[in-house]
Amino acid sequence: MMVESASETIRTTPSNQNGVSSLSSQSDGGGGREGGSNGDTNGEISPVDLLHLQQQQALQAARQFLLQQASGLNSPGSNEVKQSPVQVPVSMAMMSPQMITPQQMQQILSPPQLQALLQQQQALMLQQLQEYYKKQQEQLHLQLLTQQQQQQQQQQQQQAGKQAAKEQIGSKQLAFQQQLIQMQQLQQQHILNLQRQGLVPLQPTAAMQSLQQAMCPSDLQQLWKEVSGVPSSEEALKQAEGLDLSTNSSNSTSAFPKAASAHIPLHSLPNGQSHTPKRDRARLFEWISSFTKADSGDDHVPLYPKGSQPPSSHHEEHAGSHPLYGHGECKWPGCEALCEDMGQFIKHLNNEHALDDRSTAQCRVQMQVVQQLEIQLAKESERLQAMMTHLHMRPSEPKPYNQPLNLASSGSLLKRDSDAYPEGLPHPPTSAATPITPLRQGPSVISSSSLHTHSHSHTHAVGPIRRRNSDKYCTPIASELAQNCEFYKNADVRPPFTYASLIRHAILESPDRQLTLNEIYNWFTRKFAYFRRNTATWKNAVRHNLSLHKCFVRVENVKGAVWTVDEVEYQKRRPPKMTGSPTLVKNMISGLGFGSLNASYQAALAESSLSLLNSPPLVTPPSAASLNMLHVGHDDVSSTVEQVNSNGSCSPTLSPQQYSHPVHVKEEPTEVEEDSRPVSLLAGVTHSLPLPSDERDLEEDLPTEELE
């Protein structure tokens, strides 16, 4: 340990010349080479800039829209008009990086740093957005309250016109609710836009989460309460004293936006007994926390909308339950009346939520909420269809992951991979192993091994990347990386792959399927936060692996030596062992439908299509090496995928000997063409060889592989 860290310092310090963090210290030498070809930041306007511009426009439009709406409802002189037209501040922090040219930035900053910068900017941006939305909410709250006060005053003055006033309140409240819904929609669309542009991670940052929470369904419900909490003029009169506008406005700007209206009497029990404000507040907090921490005490965010409960996990689904009754409370929007038992609830329901104007109005609003969600669902379903079409997948494909039970059935198959969170819910983090925003949720392919690698590390400085069991079948590298690349980029978690498979992946991922050692280093540091430290150790391991494994072939290039992958050797590296594990075979086959393999397959498909875009076609006929990809004993499905991808993109993985002359060939030279292939290749070979078509083959290749 001491020796290692000492040697690390010795080795890294001298090369740390340009003052950049030690993360990329050793890669400086060849970093220029790779950095030059790396198109992370081009000479264009930064996406953040564009995004910001777009945001401002969108927000301005949204704001104008709301202003229009509000002015139609509000008495003049409301708070709204005092606001300047555009309130979204343009943060200097966001803009300042653009004072430097992107090229300069790239020179100054290492890719990880650039990424960190980008993320910072995103966070800032989201914060501002969040604040903006909060303000909008507050303003609406205020409007609502002033309106209520006015109404109440009017009512006090004109006791006679009770009924008329009541209806007026109802209609205006409805209008407000609609505004809120629209605003929520705007916000959701905005977030979706950001996500589509890839500028907001699918997994939310903290800012993202709070932004979404700022207008999550619970807020809507909260507003519901306020709206429906003044159901009749009598109650309004009773509650007039309870309203405290000053505290409201001040509170609502606090860091607890959801509790902004906590002091408002949430609702009055229709029989006249209303809770004391204190109690209401307490209950509101309770209520809120029941949404925010609905189902788990851990970091995982519920998969279902906060305002809803998973149908299967609660009592209301039991016999004698009622969808509007749960946890001893009435679940009517805005009503929290405590009902000890079902009988009491039914009574309450019949008494308080009978067919009247208020109930129908509430029902209408609820319908609108549902409609919005349906629209959202339709949009997302459409997108899903497009994605699946693009990926040549049958929409009827079995669900790869353990799908959340409560998701709407239609088109929700892959929703969790997209930004399809109808309620604007934050994506749950993949793993609680690290506080750094893991960007993907999931039955995640992050295997257990990756989570406990640190714990079972042996006497050396770092734990083994991967042990055998996870090696072969459980954690396809392509799938894992495709799904968790952001996670590994940010989290200091050791990837559950061997160095060999990582190196191979890096090489195959490169445009020319060849990398210099330094580029391999850079790939490691770029893709994995974990490899930004202990550089001496893992770099040594990389070199060790490159030298040790025959599958890595050093090729003398114009620019120097590059490393390529000999797939034949790579597949030979480990003989098929599946036959030796009947249970495993069984699992694999049974998992065809919805098991991990299918998950891998789907994730790999995604990666495959990604790679299709990335890899420039090398016009070379498919080699026998490609065919051998169908060989069994993969330690990850990615090999297949990548190979198929190779076929598809007309850039088959060549045995290096075919196009270059390796200066050094390890031990026995690789038999390229007529390498004895397992007979079991069967059908896979025949149809995969001549077909340049891409993913279509995959569907059939995989079973072949699995049957081995």
Partner DNA sequence: AGTTCAGTAAACAGAT
Partner DNA sequence: TATCTGTTTACTGAAC
Selected from 345, 401, 497, 528, the binder of DNA by CB under 7 A is: 497
269 closest CA partner among 185, 335, 347, 342: 335
Q: What DSSP line would sit under 616-634, residue for residue?
A: PPP--PPPHHHHGGG-S--
What character string, x for contact with DNA (CB under 7 A) and - otherwise, covers 663-692?
A: -x-x--------------------------
Taking the C-alpha atoms of residue 640 and residue 628, their distance in angstroms, rounded to an integer, is: 9
Candidate segments 194-202, 324-332, 397-405, 457-465, binder of DNA by CB under 7 A:
457-465
Which C-beta is closer to DNA: that of 60 or that of 537? 537
Q: Which is nearer to DNA, 569 or 695 (CB)?
A: 569
**DSSP letters for 223-235:** HHHHHHTS-SHHH
**Backbone torsion region of residue 411, taken as left when φ is above 0, otherwise alpha when ψ lies between -120 and 50, otherwise beta:** left
Tell me the torsion sign for CA atoms 592, 391, 212, 374.
negative
Provide the minimum distance between the beta carbon of 665 and DNA in the complex, in angstroms, as a whole number. Answer: 9
How many angstroms separate the Cα of 82 from the Cα of each of 71, 72, 139, 254, 378? 12, 16, 11, 21, 38
Sole binder of DNA in the list 360, 547, 579, 590 (CB under 7 A): 547
**Residue 585 makes contact with DNA by CB under 7 A:** no
Of the residues 500, 604, 641, 672, which one makes contact with DNA according to CB under 7 A: 500
Q: Closest Cα partner for 544 from 534, 536, 533?
A: 536
CB of 31 to DNA, least distance (A): 10
Per-residue binder mask for DNA (CB under 7 A), 587-626, x = binder: ----------------------------------------
329, 315 Cβ separation under 8 angstroms: no
Q: Does 575 bind DNA (CB under 7 A)?
A: yes
By CB under 7 A, tell whether 586 contacts DNA.
no
Instruction: Pick one of 84, 157, 459, 583: the residue that binds DNA (CB under 7 A).
Output: 459
In the bound state with DNA, the residue whose beta carbon lies nearer, of 186 and 477, is 477
Task: Give the span between the Cα atoms of 288 and 258, in whole angstroms.
Answer: 7
Task: Provide DSSP, 13-33.
Answer: HHH--SS--GGGGGGHHHHHH
Given a contact cutoff of 8 angstroms between Cβ atoms, the answer to whether 497 and 453 are in contact is: no
Any contact of residue 466 with DNA (CB under 7 A)? yes
Q: How far is the CB of 38 from DNA (least distance, A)?
A: 16
**Which residues inside 8-27 make contact with DNA, applying CB under 7 A?**
10-11, 13-15, 26
Nearer to DNA, 176 or 538 (CB): 538
Q: Binders of DNA among 397-456, rule CB under 7 A?
A: 456
565 three-class SS: strand
* Binding of residue 287 to DNA (CB under 7 A): no
Question: What's the CA gap between 593 and 372, in Å, rounded?
Answer: 33
- Tokens standing for residue 56: 């401002």
**Distance (Å, rounded) from C-alpha 550 to C-alpha 545?**
9
One of 242, 463, 591, 703 touching DNA (CB under 7 A): 463
Q: Is 528 in the site for DNA (CB under 7 A)?
A: no
Phi-psi domain of 77 (left: phi exceeds 0; alpha: psi -120 through 50; beta: other): left
Stretch that binds DNA, among 171-179, 484-492, 576-584, 695-703 (CB under 7 A): 576-584
Q: Is residue 276 close enough to count as binding DNA by CB under 7 A?
A: no
- Which residue of 23, 24, 30, 629 would you call a contact of DNA, by CB under 7 A? 30
Residues that bind DNA (CB under 7 A): 1, 3-4, 7, 10-11, 13-15, 26, 29-30, 456, 458-469, 471, 497-500, 516-518, 521, 534, 536-538, 540-541, 543-548, 554, 561, 563, 573-575, 577, 580-581, 635, 664, 666
